[in-house]
Amino acid sequence: MEWQDRGILLGVRKHGESAAILSVLTAARGLHAGVLPGGASRARAPELQPGNELSLEWRARLDEHIGTFRTEPARVRAGLMASRGGLLGLNAVCALLLRALPERVPQPEIWASTSALLDRMEGAEGWAADYLRWEMGLLDQMGYGLDLHSCALSGATEGLVWVSPRSGRAVSAAAAGDWATRLLPLPGFLLEGGAADGTAAADAARLTGHFLARAFAAGPGAPEMPEARARLVMALAGGRAG
C-alpha cells in the first residue's frame, strides 16, 4: 500500500531510538499517523514542527498497518513560533484536531480551512475571529453544527442575538423574552464577519466550547476539552492573542 499527499503536521512523538511517529492532517485521508525513520534527529527538528506542511509518501504492507513516512518540507511556518499568541493558537488548533477527528476519514474542508487559518495566524494580528469561525466549521464536520440562519421560535432572520444551548439554533432578542438568561450569547461577527474584540471573542469561545464539550462527551476518548484550547481562550478574552 502506498500514497502521496501533502499534510499539516499536528503532532510528533519519539518512537524507539531514532524514529518518530507523525500525526498529520491531509485532505484526502484526513488524520493519519505513520512512523518516520530518523524523525527524532536534531537535524530534522526544524521541519518537523507542528503547523508545518510536508510532502508525504506513506507505505505499508497492509492498509491497516501504521506504515512509514518519507517527508520533505513543503511549507514552513516559523512565524507561528515568533509570538506567544501564535504559539497558543497553533497548539489549540493541533490539540482540537487530534481530539476531534476520526482517523483516515477524508477532510478536504477542514484541511483547507486549517491551512488558511495557520497562514492568517502567522501573517498578522487580528485572527481571533478567524479562529472562532474555524471552530464553527470544525463543529459542522463533527455533526454538531449550529443553525444560525433564523430564529428557532419566530423564524425571523434579523435581531439574532442568542443561541439555544440545547438545539444549537439562533434565537432573536424579541422572541427570547424571559428565557434570555438561559441562552448563550451570539456575537455578531459570527453572522456578519469582521473582527472580534475581547468580549465578543469570549462569548464566541463560550458558545463553540459548549458544543465542542458536548461532542467530546458523546464521542470516544476523554471528554475533557484540550488544555491548549483553554489557554488560548483565556488569552483571547484578555486581548493577549489574536
CATH code 2.40.50.140 for 2-76: yes
- Yes or no: say if 128 and 194 are a contact pair by the CB < 8 Å rule: no
Q: Is 72 helix (H, G, I), strand (E, B) or coil?
A: strand
Q: What is the pLDDT of residues 61-85, one digit of tens each?
A: 988 899 999 999 999 999 898 888 9
Residue 185: per-residue pLDDT: 97
Tell me the mean pLDDT in the region 205-233.
91
Backbone angles phi, psi at 119, to 5 degrees: -60, -40
The boundaries of every CATH 2.40.50.140 domain in the chain are 2-76
Tell me the mean pLDDT in the region 176-181.
93
Closest among 187, 171, 169 to 179, alpha carbons compared: 171
- Whether the pLDDT of residue 194 is over 80: the answer is yes
User: How far are the Cα atoms of 127, 172, 186 from residue 204, in angstroms, in the given order?
Assistant: 13, 17, 7
Beta strand 184-185 with 160-163 is antiparallel
Integer Cα distance of 22 and 106 in angstroms: 18
Residue 232: per-residue pLDDT: 95
Q: What is the pLDDT of residues 80-125, one digit of tens each?
A: 988 889 999 999 999 999 999 999 999 999 999 999 999 999 977 7
Closest among 180, 143, 187 to 165, alpha carbons compared: 180
Residue 189: per-residue pLDDT: 96
Q: What is the pLDDT of residues 38-47, one digit of tens each?
A: 999 999 999 9
